[in-house]
Structure 1
Amino acid sequence: MAIVVKSERWLGFLRWLKSRRVPKAKLVLADFADSGRGLMATRDIEAGEAIVDIPESVLITRSVFLDSLAREGIRADQEWPLSEHQALTLFLVSQRLFPEAKWAPYVAMLPTEFDSVASQLPEELARLLPSDLQDKIKEQRHKLKQDWTAGWDFLKNIDRASEYASMDERLFEWAWLAVSTRCITLESTKNKTMDCTIALAPMLDFLNHSLEAQVETGFDPTTRSFKITTRRPYRRGTEVFISYGPHDNSFLLAEYGFILKNNPYNHICVDREFDNIALPGERPDFRSNVLRILEQEGLKGDYTLHASEASYRLMMALRLRVSTTARDFKDVLRRWYQVQRGERSTVSPENEAAAHETLLQIIDRLEDHYRLNVDECRAIAAARLERAAFDYGSWCVEELLGEHLEMLLALRNTISARG
């Protein structure tokens, strides 16, 4: 059951779309019980029909921000270049500080906060996340700080710093996250016809993600608009979706602030666990040699576990790691290369058994770690529920850890069944 949004902000936004000559879509903003706020079909939509068609004049790109400066006599594009993300961030900041009628109805519709994005979670929850997601959070926070500095350097260089004096880190972060979570990629359906590669697309960015969505997207140079065409029909009163791509829940939580139930792309990254595992009798010089070989062969890192199997990369790396204690390492290495080339299936029965034993050790440690983290996350969620309403961020963390535990159990059962 969906509740149609009828706020004055939404109605004003629709009037704004009409004034900007955006083709009327068979869509209305609604609140859905399972997916939150999204777009609902007001009439049946057939396969092959355009869901949205956003004219180029309504797309917000780096050029829009730089052109606004050029109208004031500031030629900033050559002397003080900004990345597209930085430019769009400063554009949204400018619209908050100096609202323009041209864009105000759209900016008013943007979320006021992005507190479920992984980098925005409180530290007590963030530290419970899987190691690869924690690394992603660090990267994002570092990038945000870099862009904050670059933004101020740019404003100082064009003598606009005093006008932006009220831009604090919180406002910049809001704008930065709005761009991160809502921008689209401007891929042409025919050829490259735009200088910019990302944009904010009013109306389009209200569409939620679904793995079942079947769409064609891209900038059409003939109509000079960004179109999304559905390859499947939608009935009136149902939510209309697009696909953000084949991403696992860790990626979705980091980039967009949500997760999907039963996501088939889920996996567990075990790069840190592979690096940290201690093998009996493994000499440091042999370990360094193994890591060098793996890097030379393009097999260093990106080690993953799935519900049905460990990745090829991980198993090849484990086969080599457990070989460091072998008496004749050169002979083992020769056979390892043969496995890599597909000339044999295993290095040896003993090597294969040792690799799987090490794999089970990794699974054991992760299971123990995730169970403790799930318990702690539940305690945090319960405490928050006593103080306020349901906390979506803590739910996402608990679900993500629970999914990882289920994958580990399924993989353990698969390994046991194979003997």
Structure 2
Amino acid sequence: MGRTRRKRRHRKVPPFQKQHTQSTAASDALKLWLLDQNWVPTLDLEPHIFPETGRGLMALKDIAVKDVLLELPKRLLITTLTVSESYISRIFLSDKIYDAQCVLATFLLYEKHLKEASNWKPYLDSLPVSYSNPEFCSKTEKTILPEFVTSQLSLLSRKCKVSYLSLMETLTILRSREFVCPHCTLSFDKIITFSDFTWGYYTVNTRAVYLDGTENIRINIKGDNLALAPFLDLFNHTCRTVAVAALIKKKESEFYQIKSLTSYKRGSQVFINYGAHNNLELYMEYGFVIPQNPLDEIKFDLSDIKKCINISRTVYNFLRVHNLDDNMSFSSQGLNYSAKNVLFICTTSVQKNQWMQKMFRDNLDSEDLSRVNSLGLKILQMKKSQLKQDLQKMKRCRYKSGSFLSAVQLLEEFIQVLESCLKIICE
């Protein structure tokens, strides 16, 4: 999912920053297809292009708290059960265990390959052709991304690659058994390229919803709790709204329902909340960043502390044995609890047997806090300087993809968090 470029700082910023394909034609066609499938809308919501987010859903009437935003029949969800009842279920009948992301991605690619013959074509046509997760940065851009992004990206990329190679191994075996596409007689290992699989994998990653419970299906799947919900993925995210989702039963049928706990005026954009995600998580998983995300934090570790102060072996071993250094960070609210405790231990002159007592009783005096803040400022300035250097290097990149621009915005947001934290510490 893409996004618009960040507004200048002196302008009022919205609580979201995401952009879909800049057209409602495909989403309008999707809505008509759903209506043809006997879907009954619970509210008047219309695809619309908004200045800040691009494509989203607009309320055509006022929406009250607890109104049902969407109620989609389970039969219109793409689940692993859908795959198990399809032609390609044979791919997943081996002894291997596949994750639901791979299974759903493979199904999307097969249906996309069918083109007009696919029953899911209106939904497939509504999906973006690319995404703005860091995976979709160019090779040159990836070499410029900061280490805290590339370290996570390497894990996600490896997971996707391993999933693809495992799938290809199965498809190669099936080719020898003459398992081919019934529409074109091509073998599936020729149909599904790594580039296509990456698109499908991230389509599921950015758009799938979680369902409680597991399906009763024939194929072996790890984490069988994902589903793709047509029309639902037109909702944009904000951390300033609350909505609840659940699988409900009405008579003999099941529905995926989303209920809003926020009211909306007619003509405004209707949002849902993807969960409690900071901007790094949003960028890695969904490909966008929201301004002034209250969940943002900039983490640091003992190696950062050691660049600013000498740590004795006794202190170092104590922190590691008790895992006290696992979650140190700066936020717009200042140093977090773990950071304060670790910096206290690194700077205190009291005896070791008093450390725990002072920490857990929250009994740090003014001198303790002064030393903590002094060291915290040194680390903060060091992190801020590194972020600024990374940002300058990124901005010198001549051609910037949407994915890379999201990374630029991420660093700008992190620098702003550190500036807010600086004010708190200096008070």
**TM tier relative to shorter chain:** 0.7 to 0.9
Distance 2:315 2:170 in 1: 46
Distance 1:75 1:134 in 2: 33
Distance 2:52 2:370 in 1: 45
Task: Return the letter of the residue paired with 2:239.
Answer: L
Distance 1:320 1:258 in 2: 38
Corresponding residue number in structure 1 for 2:100: 84
Matched, 1:415 2:425: yes
Please point out which of 320, 338, 342 is paired with 1:313.
338
Question: Aligned with 1:384: secondary structure?
Answer: coil
Distance 1:92 1:313, change over 3 A: same
- TM-score normalised to structure 1 length: 0.82
Matched, 1:356 2:366: no
Task: Return the letter of the residue paired with 1:14.
Answer: K
Distance 2:24 2:390 in 1: 41
Q: CA deviation at 1:314?
A: 1.6
Please point out which of 246, 255, 258 is paired with 1:228.
258
Corresponding residue number in structure 2 for 1:378: 395
Q: Which deviations, in whole Å up to 9, do the C-alpha atoms of 1:143-199 show, x marking residues without a partner?
A: 111211222233345555833313211101000010000001114xxxx47564110
Distance 1:185 1:14 in 2: 22
Q: CA deviation at 1:138?
A: 1.8
Corresponding residue number in structure 2 for 1:216: 244
Distance 2:82 2:49 in 1: 31
Matched, 1:122 2:125: no
Task: Return the letter of the residue paired with 1:260.
Answer: I
Corresponding residue number in structure 2 for 1:241: 271
Distance 1:377 1:70, change over 3 A: closer
Question: Aligned with 2:52: secondary structure?
Answer: coil
Q: Which deviations, in whole Å up to 9, do the C-alpha atoms of 1:35-74 show, x marking residues without a partner?
A: 1111122333333322111111011112211221477xx3
Matched, 1:46 2:46: no
Q: Which deviations, in whole Å up to 9, do the C-alpha atoms of 1:308-364 show, x marking residues without a partner?
A: 2111112222233446xx6xxxx732111113432x613x77665444333222112
Distance 2:22 2:66 in 1: 25
Task: Return the letter of the residue paired with 1:258.
Answer: F
Matched, 1:335 2:365: no
Distance 1:411 1:113 in 2: 36
Corresponding residue number in structure 2 for 1:388: none
Q: CA deviation at 1:121?
A: 2.3
Distance 1:84 1:133 in 2: 25
Corresponding residue number in structure 1 for 2:283: 253
Q: Residue 131 of structure 1 contacts residue 272 of structure 1 at CA under 8 Å; is this kept in 2?
A: no
Q: CA deviation at 1:203?
A: 0.5
Distance 1:410 1:127 in 2: 29
Please point out which of 394, 403, 406 is paired with 2:413.
403
Higher relative contact order (CA 8 A, sep 6+): 2
Distance 1:294 1:351, change over 3 A: farther
Task: Return the letter of the residue paired with 1:149.
Answer: L
- TM-score normalised to structure 2 length: 0.81
Q: CA deviation at 1:234?
A: 2.6
Root-mean-square deviation (CA, aligned residues, Å) is 3.0
Please point out which of 304, 329, 345 is paired with 1:304.
329
Q: CA deviation at 1:220?
A: 0.8
Distance 1:411 1:14, change over 3 A: closer
The share of aligned pairs that are identical, in percent, is: 21
Corresponding residue number in structure 1 for 2:199: 174
Corresponding residue number in structure 2 for 1:27: 45
Distance 1:311 1:399 in 2: 24
Distance 1:397 1:5, change over 3 A: closer
Query: What stretches of structure 2 of length at least 5 have no aligned partner?
Result: 1-18, 181-186, 217-223
Q: Residue 26 of structure 1 contacts residue 45 of structure 1 at CA under 8 Å; is this kept in 2?
A: no
Q: Residue 31 of structure 2 contacts residue 231 of structure 2 at CA under 8 Å; is this kept in 1?
A: no
Distance 1:213 1:374, change over 3 A: same
